Structure 1
């Protein structure tokens, strides 16, 4: 019983608060190793901390997977892409020497009220409240932040969308927590769909 209780707590702690709802890869565009990927988060200006965190975390995840990546905020400042369409953003990224552009668009942000039902937790020591030992946590209503995202990856050379993904992030504890879970989930899916491929050192040297 004690092992089950500890495992349940571990699984809850390990869960990501970002979940992909749908994703698509353009099979007409072949997988290549991009030499420079620009990351551009399109979020309201009053949430600049989220933009910076999202771009920074995604850049770090891409670099860990062998890709040179840069933040649009760091390269151009906070206002350079303001009011631009994604196609204009692709052209600007190309002028900066990028051959890949990853855009992160916040499509919705709302606060919701959610009822969390009560739970009986078995006691790891075999004694406590209720039948057979355990503890009861009563149900309650809580407010939560919900973010909806759409992310597109452009092959800048061909000016085509290579990948598109929609996802939801539920009640992150901070901007950094949001960015960390989001970037890990998106990069995982991009690798799975072979949007991002890892080349050997020899392959990279031959390019």
Structure 2
């Protein structure tokens, strides 16, 4: 965990607002897909977020791919739930990490973990994608709230959820670099991720 802690000591633009993890021990997993959900016009940011998170998970010993690399840019939207699940299970994917823009505001919002924990991976993806069409990462004086969730593929249950506040004055590239280590470090501390 040392390299993450060292790296995070210089970060001032991103901070964890809240996080939650399922009670009890987490069943070990090793094969992960990272799915970033951003406004449709922000394709470069999606690629940066998925790739950075994938790199960090790989450095911990997980076999990780971005959703774009594994299934194409629109696979989660164009394939039905059963097709996506069948493809992931066939490829041995055990968990999905989602990264999504959930709000733009002047003040942080409360993280409703009870409500989030009751929503499965595909319902979360559908509702998040619907509201993203009106948002964009292009208002530098605002604060952006991002949510990272970790879902188990077998039953699509939520294992971890973390909300992060990002200063809109940083570039998308800097954001992708700061966001990943911040969240991965929190997931390590919560025990849902482990060095492999």
TM-score under structure 2 length normalisation: 0.69
Pick one of 126, 133, 151 that aligns with 1:154: 151
Counterpart position of 2:22 = 26
Q: CA RMSD in A?
A: 2.9
Q: Deviation digits for residues 27-67 of structure 1, max 9, x if unmatched? A: 14x23432211000011110111100100000011111111
More helix per residue: 2
The answer for unaligned runs of 5 or more in structure 2 is 1-8, 108-139
Q: CA deviation at 1:82?
A: 2.4
Confirm or deny: 8 A CA contact 2:36 2:50 kept in the other structure.
Answer: yes
What is the distance in 2 between the residues matched to 1:151 and 1:89? 20
Instruction: Select which of 59, 63, 72 maps to 1:68.
Output: 63
Q: Which has the larger radius of gyration?
A: 1
Of 176, 180, 188 in structure 2, the residue corresponding to residue 183 of structure 1 is 180
Q: Does residue 58 in structure 1 map to residue 53 in structure 2?
A: yes
Q: Is the 8 A contact 2:58 2:64 kept in 1?
A: yes
2:34 maps to 39
Q: Give unmatched runs, 5+ long, in structure 1.
A: 1-12, 113-142, 200-207
Give the structure 1 partner of residue 93 of structure 2. 98
Find 1:194's aligned residue among 188, 191, 196.
Answer: 191
Deviation at 1:162, TM superposition (A): 0.6
Structure-2 change in CA distance of 1:75 and 1:24 (3 Å): same
State how far apart, in whole Å, the 1-side matches of 2:183 and 2:19 are. Answer: 10
Q: Which moved more, 1:92-101 or 1:79-88?
A: 79-88
Give me the whole-angstrom Cα distance separating, in 2, the residues matched to 1:167 and 1:179.
Answer: 12
Q: Please identify which structure carries the higher strand content.
A: 1
Of 10, 15, 21, the match for 1:14? 10
Q: CA deviation at 1:84?
A: 7.7
How far apart, CA to CA, are the structure 2 residues paired with 1:174 and 1:111? 18
Displacement after TM superposition at 1:103 (Å):
0.8
Distance 1:155 1:177 in 2: 29
TM score, norm. by length of structure 1: 0.66
